[in-house]
Amino acid sequence: MALANRDELTQVLASDTGRLGRVFARHAYGMRAWVDLFAARVPTIDDPALKALVAGVVGDNARHMMLFRQRAIAHGVDPDAYVCPDEGEGIYTRIPLITDMDELLGYALGSLDHFEELLSVYAHAARGEDLEVVTVVRADNERARAG
């Protein structure tokens, strides 16, 4: 599924790169949710390779959360003040309901694909340290998508 509002998002971020602070805060929230939700699954996984994969997703999201938090703060945005709208929260409330591990991994892969589309837009608006962070997260995201 292609990012429906790519052009609009690109224009909005290009017109005011300070908005990246809010973008970083929003994703720091989401990454924290993924850490909490996927970390809870690790003890229930018997297959060592699958356990390592899910633990890797948790570790990447924890590291990315901290990077994005730092960038939000650098833009004067308090990442802890972010309040996720109900429609966004639906992404996270669905995860605990998924009991089939293949379905859960498919859901995660779809999320990583969507996140890559967003990161590509952010990379166009980002400069300096913002761009460095987006570049690091994109590389990790691509590795996770390929793995």
Cα 49 off chain centre by: 23
Find the angle CA(106)-CA(109)-CA(112) to the nearest 5 degrees: 155
Task: Using CA atoms of 126, 127, 132, 138 in order, give the dihedral in degrees to the nearest 10.
Answer: 20
Read off the pLDDT of residues 83-138 as tens digits, 9 standing for 90 and up.
999 988 998 999 999 999 999 989 999 999 999 999 999 999 999 999 999 999 99
Tell me how crowded residue 124 is: count the other CB atoms within 10 A of its CB.
12
Q: Does residue 5 carry a pLDDT above 90? A: no
Task: Give the Cα separation of 64 and 32 in Å (integer).
Answer: 9
Whether 42 contacts 51, CB under 8 Å: yes
Length of the chain: 147
Amino acid (one-letter) located at 100: D
Mean pLDDT of 70-88: 95
Residue 3: per-residue pLDDT: 72
Alpha-carbon torsion, ordered 24, 28, 31, 35, to 10 deg: 160
Strand, helix or coil for residue 2? coil
Query: In the prediction, which pLDDT does 18 show?
Result: 78
Q: pTM for the complete prediction?
A: 0.91
Residue 50 has pLDDT above 70, yes or no: yes
